[in-house]
Copies of this chain bind each other. A is one copy, B any other.
Amino acid sequence: MLTERQLFLLQLLVNDYVVSAEPVGSRSIAKREDVHFSPATIRNELADLEEMGYLEKTHLSSGRVPSEKGYRFYVDHLLSPALLPDDEMGNIRDAYQKKFSETEELIRVTAKILSEFTNYTAIMIGPELLEMKMKHIQLVKLSPTQGVLIIVTDTGHVENRVVSVPDSIKAEDIEKIVNILNEKLNMVPLYQLQNRLNAEIADVLRNHVRDYKRVMSLLTEGLTINDPEQIFYSGKSNMFSQPEFQDVDKIISLLNVLEGKEIVRELMNMPAKGLHIRIGRENKLIGIEDCSLITTTYSIGGEHLGTVAVIGPKRMAYPRVVTLIDLVSKLLTENLNKQERKER
Residues of A within 8 A of B (CB): 99-103, 105, 135-136, 138, 140, 142-146, 148, 150, 152, 154-156, 158, 160-164, 217, 221-222, 224, 227, 236-237, 240-241, 245-248, 251-252, 255-256, 259, 339-341, 343
| Known interface pairs A102-B162, A162-B101, A163-B101; A339-B154 also in contact (CB < 8 Å) | no
Q: Can you list the 6 inter-chain pairs with the closest CB atoms, starting with the nearest?
A: A101-B161, A158-B160, A136-B140, A237-B255, A164-B341, A140-B152
Q: How far is the CA of A146 from the CA of B156 in the complex (A)?
A: 9
A240 touches B252 (CB 8 A): yes
Contact partner of A236 (CB less than 8 A), chosen from B105, B136, B138, B255, is B255
| Known interface pairs A146-B156, A240-B248, A240-B251; A162-B103 also in contact (CB < 8 Å) | yes
Q: How far is the CA of A240 from the CA of B254 in the complex (A)?
A: 12
- State the majority secondary structure of interface residues on A: mixed
A160 touches B339 (CB 8 A): no
A151 CB to nearest chain B CB (Å): 10
Contact partner of A252 (CB less than 8 A), chosen from B217, B241, B340, is B241
**Please, which residues of chain B bring their CB within 8 A of the CB of A156?**
142, 146, 148, 162
**Please, which residues of chain B bring their CB within 8 A of the CB of A248?**
240, 245-248, 251
**Please, which residues of chain B bring their CB within 8 A of the CB of A221?**
99, 101
A150 CB to nearest chain B CB (Å): 6
A161 touches B251 (CB 8 A): no
Q: How far is the CA of A246 from the CA of B164 in the complex (A)?
A: 48
**Please, which residues of chain B bring their CB within 8 A of the CB of A236?**
255, 259
B158 touches A148 (CB 8 A): yes
**Please, which residues of chain B bring their CB within 8 A of the CB of A102?**
160-162
**Please, which residues of chain B bring their CB within 8 A of the CB of A154?**
142
**Please, which residues of chain B bring their CB within 8 A of the CB of A100?**
162
A343 touches B164 (CB 8 A): yes
Q: How far is the CA of A49 from the CA of B31 in the complex (A)?
A: 64
Contact partner of A146 (CB less than 8 A), chosen from B158, B164, B247, B339, is B339
| Known interface pairs A145-B340, A240-B248, A339-B143; A138-B164 also in contact (CB < 8 Å) | no
- Beyond A138-B138, A162-B341, A240-B255, list 9 extra A-B contacts (CB 8 Å): A101-B162, A101-B224, A135-B140, A142-B156, A150-B158, A152-B160, A158-B160, A164-B340, A236-B259
**Please, which residues of chain B bring their CB within 8 A of the CB of A142?**
135, 152, 154-156
Q: How far is the CA of A135 from the CA of B99 in the complex (A)?
A: 26
**Please, which residues of chain B bring their CB within 8 A of the CB of A103?**
162
**Please, which residues of chain B bring their CB within 8 A of the CB of A252?**
237, 240-241
A190 CB to nearest chain B CB (Å): 14
**Please, which residues of chain B bring their CB within 8 A of the CB of A227?**
105
Closest to A102 in B: B161
A343 touches B217 (CB 8 A): yes
B162 touches A150 (CB 8 A): no
**Please, which residues of chain B bring their CB within 8 A of the CB of A162?**
100-103, 156, 341
**Please, which residues of chain B bring their CB within 8 A of the CB of A152?**
140, 142, 148, 150, 160
Interface centre among A103, A152, A162 (most CB of B within 10 A): A162
